[in-house]
Amino acid sequence: MTRREVHRFQDLTSDEVSDLFQSVQAIGKVLEREYRGEALSIALQDGPVAGQTVPHVHVHVIARRKGDYGNNDEIYKEMDKNEKDIAQILQKSTAAGAAAGGSSSDKKSGVDNEERKPRSADEMAAEAAKLREYFEQHEDIWS
């Protein structure tokens, strides 16, 4: 993966696009295994007009389960609220999918973009450490 800051998808090289989506595929495999997902929602907001809140290319990869949202597009509204971290989104998604008769009309907690506080470096490091453990347990995804 590139370490240079790239603001738009169109500015990636062909090799970087290939690396990015091979990584998305591998990451998706781990997320499905660890969160008992049945599918994935994969989203890339390319620029501020498309909803990009962080000024660099990044991809959201979210494990999905049947019934986690009544209307599949509601996941994008949830992403737009920009939950505090990806673990909260995955936990809600998994819990909602596992609950009998879970309703997508239930109000989901979250913050709107105006109130969102950036996560600290320590918070992001803790999340990365937790996810690193998952990837170490699933080394077979890279082949």
Q: What is the pLDDT of residues 80-116, one digit of tens each?
A: 665 444 445 545 555 665 554 444 333 333 333 455 5
Confidence of residue 38 (pLDDT cuts 50, 70, 90): very high
Write down the pLDDT at residue 102: 41
- Provide the residue range defining the domain that includes 117: 9-142
Q: Which of 74, 122, 69 is nearest to 99 (CA)?
A: 69
In the predicted structure, residue 2 carries a pLDDT above the cut 70: no
Q: Is the pTM of this model over 0.85?
A: no
For residue 13, is it within any domain? yes
Residue 3 placed within a domain: no
Residue 54 has pLDDT above 50, yes or no: yes
Tell whether 2 is covered by a domain.
no
What's the CATH code of the domain at 112? 3.30.428
| CB distance 78 to 91 below 8 Å | no
Look at the chain and report how many structural domains it folds into: 1
Higher model confidence: residue 11 or residue 74? Answer: 11
Residue 4 lies in a domain: no
Residue 51 domain flag: yes
Contact in structure between 73 and 104 (CB atoms under 8 Å): no
For 112-127, letters b (16+ CB in 10 Å) and e give eeeeeeeeeeeeeeee
* Active-site annotation, residues: 58
Looking from the CA of 142 toward its CB, the CA atoms found within 13 Å total 7
